[in-house]
């Protein structure tokens, strides 16, 4: 078996893309999207009609929601598992707004014939995002807590009952390379890889049921270093590299018995942990800004198309 086939025997492989052809090629269990991927997907031939329908709508916000749901619906027809759909990053510090938006997206999916059991609502792992997940999970709406850069974020999400969380490997590595002047890391010394390994082992030893899904990879070596993690969401480029790798893949992560418990993370604990961690604080804010900027680009694209002569 190639490395991708071996990886699938020990980890649920998720495609980090909205590209229909790539998903058909690599046959992942799930797929994830975010505003950046929705913006990219909108230009792909497979979504041309969806983009035309969106640009015909007068309400740009409704058009973005429609385009997002159309893309997500197409993805549910290809993958057998979950499709992750992200709430507008502008709402990341407003619990009530995130909950309302998530309910609206689920309602749109249901009207399109897709049940909530096929969708993960992606929320930024702010304190408000964690509280939104707590509310939504109680309603049977599963959540993917994204932009996780610290163990404290992960623990708070798990204690809120989040179905899944996404620690970002590559963005952590990027920060440490820039901060320390390190050109490259041996994979076992890679701070992004170490972060996911720490979260994984902490979750297993404390009996948390929340799924750990490593994300934001910069290399196939980072992916292979987390083989055995619950799930890994990987770009088509890296999936292709793994498919072409005929080497033996060692399992890197193995569950351990749950032997420990810990007290709930309070809001003060959560905020202090972020304030005390320059990397996590900076990358969380940067990630929220980046997703917002790509949503703004999509708004601009739709407005331009709406204004263009017929």
- Which residues are catalytic, by number? 122
CA atoms of 248 and 116, how far apart (whole Å) = 38
> With the C-alpha atoms ordered 187, 200, 119, 5, is the resulting torsion angle positive or negative?
positive
The tokens describing 89, both together, are: 């990053």
CA atoms of 215 and 169, how far apart (whole Å) = 6
The alpha carbon torsion through 245, 250, 253, 256 (nearest 10 deg) reads: 150
- 64 neighbors 51 (Cβ within 8 angstroms): no
Pairing of strands 83-86, 30-32: parallel
CA atoms of 288 and 154, how far apart (whole Å) = 17
- CA-wise closest residue to 23 among 7, 43, 41: 41
Radius of gyration for the chain, computed over Cα atoms and rounded to the nearest angstrom: 19
Pairing of strands 211-214, 231-234: parallel
């Amino acid at each position: 078996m190639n490395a991708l086939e071996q990886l699938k025997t020990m980890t649920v492989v998720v495609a980090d893309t909205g590209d229909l052809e790539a998903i058909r090629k690599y046959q992942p269990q799930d797929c994830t999207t975010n505003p950046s991927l929705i913006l990219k997907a909108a230009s792909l031939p497979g979504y041309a009609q969806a983009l035309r329908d969106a640009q015909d709508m007068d309400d740009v916000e409704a058009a973005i929601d429609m385009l997002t749901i159309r893309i997500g619906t197409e993805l549910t027809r290809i993958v057998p598992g979950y499709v992750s759909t992200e709430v507008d990053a502008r709402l990341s510090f407003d619990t009530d707004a995130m909950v309302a938006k998530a309910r609206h997206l689920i309602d749109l999916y249901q009207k399109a014939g897709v049940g909530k059991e096929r969708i993960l609502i992606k929320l930024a792992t702010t304190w408000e995002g964690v509280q939104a997940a707590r509310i939504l999970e109680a309603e049977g709406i599963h959540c993917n807590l994204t932009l996780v850069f610290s163990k404290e974020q992960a623990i708070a999400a798990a204690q809120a009952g989040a179905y899944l969380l996404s620690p970002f490997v590559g963005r952590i590595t990027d920060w440490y390379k820039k901060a320390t002047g390190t050109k490259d890391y041996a994979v076992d010394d890679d701070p992004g890889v170490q972060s996911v390994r720490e979260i994984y082992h902490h979750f297993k030893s404390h009996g948390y049921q929340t799924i750990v899904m490593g994300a934001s990879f910069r290399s196939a070596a980072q992916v292979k270093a987390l083989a055995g993690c619950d799930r890994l969401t990987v770009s088509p480029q890296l999936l292709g590299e793994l498919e072409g790798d005929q080497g033996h893949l060692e399992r890197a992560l193995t569950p351990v018995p749950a032997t420990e418990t810990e007290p709930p993370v309070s809001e003060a604990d959560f905020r202090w942990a972020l304030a005390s961690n320059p990397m996590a604080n900076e990358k969380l804010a940067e990630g929220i800004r980046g997703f917002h900027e790509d949503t703004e680009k999509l708004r601009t694209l739709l407005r331009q198309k709406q204004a263009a002569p017929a």
